[in-house]
C-alpha cells in the first residue's frame, strides 16, 4: 500500500486514486469529497493535503500547481530523497527502523499496546463513546487508517503520561484550530468545494513564501516530514530546525498487516517530539489565530458563535492567520470556515464547525474597521434585547415585585436567553453583510437594514417571553399582576432602547 502508487483513497461519486492522482484531480477541480472521511477528520485532512502539496511544490521549484500526476509523484518523492523504496509513503513497513506513512522509526525496547481499529487510534479523547462509538471499524480499509493517522499525528493533544500532543496547539489540553477562507460554490451555499479550497490555500502559501510574507518561525528548507526522522528516546526537535510548513507526528505508532487485515501498535515517549511548549502554539500555522497580547494560539471552548468569530476577525486582539485573509484578487463569494475540537483538561466538548458565507462585495472589505464597528453595534443591540428579556422573565418569577428580583429569579431566564442567543447567532452575519453593503447608500437604506435586524430580534425575544409566560413558576394569586408588569417592563425597556420599532399607538399601549 504505497500512497504514491496504489489507488487507496475513495473519492465521492466513486473511483479510487493514489496521492499523486488525488492532487492531479484536485488541481483540475474534480474532487467533490472523500467517501470514507469522517466529519471531524476534515480539517486535519485539508491542512495535511495543503501542507504536503506546498512543501513538495516549493522543494521542486514549482510555483504553479501542476496537473500531471507524474509531476506530483516526482515532487513528492523529492521530499524523501533518502528513501528509494518509498518507505515514508507505505502504510505498512515491517522494519521499524524505517519510517512508514506518518509512522517514525522507533528505538528498540519500547512497550507496545495493540490498536485493533483505526477509530480506536483516532483522537479518543475527542470522541464520546456514547456519541461516536469507539473501536467499531472492524472491517476497516487502508484509507481508514490513513485518515486516522493524519488526525492523530497532526491534531492530537496530551493523552496522559507518555502520550504527548502536537506542537501546533497551546498546551496539551488545547486544540489545533482551523480558521480560513474558502471559495464558495455559489452564493449562500454552505457546502465546501475541497478542490477549490485546497488549490486556493496552496497558492496562498506559495505566494506568501515567494514574497517573504510568511511567519518567521522555523527555517525554510528545514525538516518537513517529521515521520522520516529517527526518534531516539528523550530526544526533541527544535522549531528553528524545521520548515515553517512542517508536518509533525506526536505519537509512536506502527501499522502492521496480518493475512490482509490491518491493525496497529502504539507506544509512549519520554518527551514531546518537538520542544515547543514555550511557543504556546504560536508556530506559524497558517490556519491558527494568535492572540497579539498573550502570544498564544486559540484554545477553543464552547462554539464558534458570532461573538467569538467577531473577536477573532474584528477586535484587533488576534492576529488573523494567513489563510483567513483574502488575497487582493479574490472578489467572488467566499466561505469563512472555522473548525476545531473544544477541549479541556481530560474532557471534550466535541468537534465544532462553523461555515459562514461571505458575499463577494464584502470580501475586499473583510478586514476594514467599519465592518468591525458595525459588528460591535449589532452585538450591543443583541445585548440590549437579551437584558430586556432576562429582566422581564425575572420580574415574572418574582411575582411582579421589582424589589424582590434577585439572581435566583434571573436564573429562570437562562434557557430563554440561551435560545434567543442561538437565534441571534443565525441572524448575525447575514444582517452584518447587508448593513456593510449599505454603508455608502442612502440614510433610508441604512436605516432599513438596521430596522430589519432589530425587528427580527424583537420577534425572537417576544416569542421567548411568551413561551416563558406559560412556564415560569409564579404564585397563582400573583400571576395576573406579575404577567402584566413583566410584559410592560419588557416592552418599555425595548422601546426605550429602540423607539423606531414602535409606532405612537404601540407606545401608548405600553404606557
Query: 409 and 316 share a domain?
Result: no
Q: Are residues 276 and 340 in the same domain?
A: yes
**pLDDT, mean of each 10-residue run, the chain (511 residues):** 95 93 97 94 97 96 93 96 95 95 94 92 57 53 95 92 93 91 78 94 94 80 96 93 96 91 94 95 95 94 94 93 91 93 72 93 81 95 97 91 89 94 97 93 93 96 92 80 91 92 55 42
Q: How far, in Å, CA of 383 to CA of 367, rounded?
A: 24
Residue 13 forms part of a structural domain: no
In a domain, 74, yes or no: no
Q: How many angstroms separate the CA atoms of 167 and 181, rounded?
A: 23
Query: Phi first, then psi: what are they for 108, rounded to 5°?
Result: -80, 160
Three-state secondary structure readout of 290-329: EECCCCCECCCCCCCCHHHHHHHHHCCCEECCHHHCCCCC
C-alpha cell at 212: 517573504
Q: Are residues 248 and 121 in the same domain?
A: yes
Residues 100 and 158 in one domain: yes
- All cell numbers assigned to 184: 464558495
Please give the Cα distance from 331 to 356 (Å, whole number): 16
Whether residues 176 and 275 fall in one domain: yes
- Bridge partner residues of 344 (DSSP): 347
Is residue 297 in some structural domain? yes
In a domain, 254, yes or no: yes
Residues in a beta bridge with 115: 264
- State the pLDDT at residue 366: 76
Q: Does 332 share its domain with 384?
A: no
The answer to whether residue 38 is domain-embedded is: no
Q: How many domains does the chain have?
A: 2
pTM of the model: 0.92
Nearest partner of 281 among 170, 178, 154, judged by Cα: 170
130 with 177, same domain: the answer is yes
259 and 389: one domain? no
C-beta neighbour count of 271 within 10 angstroms: 12
Q: Give every CB contact of residue 14 below 8 A, 6+ residues apart in sequence.
A: none
Q: 40 lies in a domain?
A: no
Domain finish residue from 363, 382, 397: 363
List, in order, residues 6 or more apart from 73 with CB less than 8 Å away.
4, 20
Q: Is 158 in contact with 165 (CB distance < 8 Å)?
A: yes
Structural domain of 250? 85-191+218-363
Tally Cβ neighbours within 10 Å of residue 44: 25
Query: What's the Cα-to-Cα distance from 292 to each of 212, 280, 288, 289, 320, rounded to whole Å?
Result: 21, 12, 12, 9, 10
Are the C-beta atoms of residues 349 and 127 closer than 8 Å to each other?
A: no
Alpha-carbon gap, residue 39 to 91, rounded angstroms: 22
- Grid cell of 434 as nine digits: 447587508
Q: Do 435 and 293 share a domain, yes or no?
A: no
36 part of a folded domain: no
Task: Identify whether residues 260 and 389 lie together within a single domain.
Answer: no
- Nearest alpha carbon to residue 343 among 148, 115, 166, 192: 166
Report the greatest alpha carbon distance in the chain.
Answer: 87
Helix (H, G, I), strand (E, B) or coil at 84: coil
Domain end call among 363, 387, 408? 363
Does residue 245 share a domain with residue 145? yes
Last residue in a domain, options 328, 363, 398: 363
Using a 10 angstrom Cβ sphere, with 0-12 exposed, 13-18 middle and 19 or more buried, the burial of residue 471 is exposed
Same domain for 499 and 416: yes
Task: Calculate the dihedral angle through the C-alpha atoms of 207, 208, 209, 210, rounding to the nearest 10 degrees.
Answer: 40
Question: Is there a domain that residue 200 lies in?
Answer: no
Q: What is the CA radius of gyration of the chain?
A: 27
Amino acid at each position: 500500500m504505497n500512497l504514491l502508487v496504489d489507488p487507496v483513497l475513495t473519492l465521492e461519486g466513486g473511483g479510487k486514486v493514489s496521492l499523486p492522482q488525488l492532487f492531479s484531480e484536485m488541481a483540475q477541480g474534480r474532487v467533490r469529497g472523500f467517501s470514507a472521511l469522517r466529519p471531524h477528520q476534515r480539517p486535519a485532512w485539508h491542512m495535511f493535503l495543503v501542507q504536503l502539496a506546498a512543501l513538495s511544490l516549493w522543494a521542486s521549484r514549482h510555483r504553479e500547481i501542476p496537473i500531471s500526476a507524474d509531476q506530483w509523484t516526482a515532487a513528492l518523492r523529492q521530499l524523501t530523497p533518502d528513501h528509494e523504496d518509498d518507505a515514508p509513503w507505505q502504510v505498512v513497513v515491517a522494519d521499524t527502523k524505517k519510517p512508514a506513512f506518518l509512522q517514525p522509526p522507533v528505538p528498540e525496547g519500547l512497550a507496545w499496546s495493540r490498536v485493533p481499529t483505526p477509530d480506536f487510534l483516532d483522537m479518543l479523547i475527542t470522541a464520546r463513546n456514547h456519541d461516536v462509538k469507539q473501536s467499531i471499524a472492524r472491517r476497516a480499509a487502508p484509507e481508514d487508517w490513513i485518515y486516522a493517522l493524519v488526525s492523530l499525528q497532526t491534531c492530537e493533544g496530551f493523552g496522559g503520561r507518555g502520550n504527548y500532543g502536537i506542537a501546533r496547539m497551546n498546551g496539551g489540553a488545547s486544540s489545533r484550530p482551523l480558521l480560513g477562507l474558502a471559495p464558495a460554490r455559489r452564493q449562500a451555499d454552505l457546502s465546501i468545494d475541497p478542490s477549490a479550497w485546497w488549490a486556493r490555500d496552496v497558492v496562498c502559501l506559495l505566494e506568501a513564501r515567494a514574497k517573504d510574507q510568511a511567519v518567521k518561525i522555523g527555517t525554510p528548507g528545514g525538516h518537513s516530514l517529521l515521520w522520516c526522522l529517527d526518534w531516539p528516546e528523550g530526544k526533541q526537535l527544535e522549531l528553528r530546525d524545521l520548515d515553517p510548513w512542517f508536518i509533525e507526528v506526536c505519537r509512536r505508532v506502527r501499522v502492521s498487516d496480518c493475512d490482509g487485515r490491518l491493525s496497529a501498535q502504539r507506544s509512549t515517549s519520554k518527551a514531546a517530539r518537538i520542544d515547543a511548549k514555550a511557543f504556546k502554539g504560536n508556530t506559524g500555522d497558517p490556519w491558527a489565530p494568535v492572540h497579539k497580547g498573550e502570544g498564544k494560539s486559540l484554545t477553543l471552548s464552547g462554539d464558534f458563535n458570532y461573538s467569538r468569530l467577531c473577536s477573532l476577525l474584528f477586535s484587533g486582539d488576534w492576529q488573523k492567520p494567513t489563510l483567513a485573509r483574502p488575497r487582493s484578487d479574490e472578489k467572488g463569494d467566499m466561505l469563512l470556515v472555522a473548525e476545531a475540537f473544544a477541549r479541556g483538561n481530560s474532557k471534550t466538548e466535541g468537534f465544532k464547525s462553523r461555515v459562514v458565507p461571505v458575499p463577494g462585495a464584502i470580501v475586499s472589505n473583510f478586514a476594514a474597521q467599519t465592518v468591525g464597528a458595525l459588528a460591535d453595534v449589532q452585538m450591543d443591540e443583541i445585548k440590549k434585547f437579551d437584558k430586556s428579556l432576562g429582566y422581564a422573565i425575572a420580574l415574572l418569577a418574582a411575582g411582579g415585585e421589582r424589589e424582590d428580583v434577585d439572581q435566583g429569579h434571573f436564573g429562570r431566564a437562562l434557557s430563554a436567553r440561551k435560545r434567543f442567543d442561538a437565534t441571534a447567532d443565525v441572524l448575525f452575519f447575514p444582517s452584518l453583510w447587508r448593513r456593510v453593503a449599505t454603508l455608502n447608500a442612502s440614510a433610508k437604506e441604512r436605516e432599513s437594514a438596521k430596522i430589519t435586524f432589530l425587528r427580527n430580534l424583537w420577534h425572537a425575544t417576544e416569542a421567548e417571553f411568551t413561551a416563558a409566560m406559560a412556564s415560569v413558576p409564579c404564585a397563582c394569586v400573583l400571576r395576573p399582576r406579575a404577567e402584566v408588569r413583566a410584559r410592560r417592563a419588557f416592552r418599555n425597556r425595548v422601546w426605550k432602547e429602540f423607539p423606531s420599532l414602535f409606532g405612537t399607538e404601540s407606545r401608548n399601549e405600553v404606557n
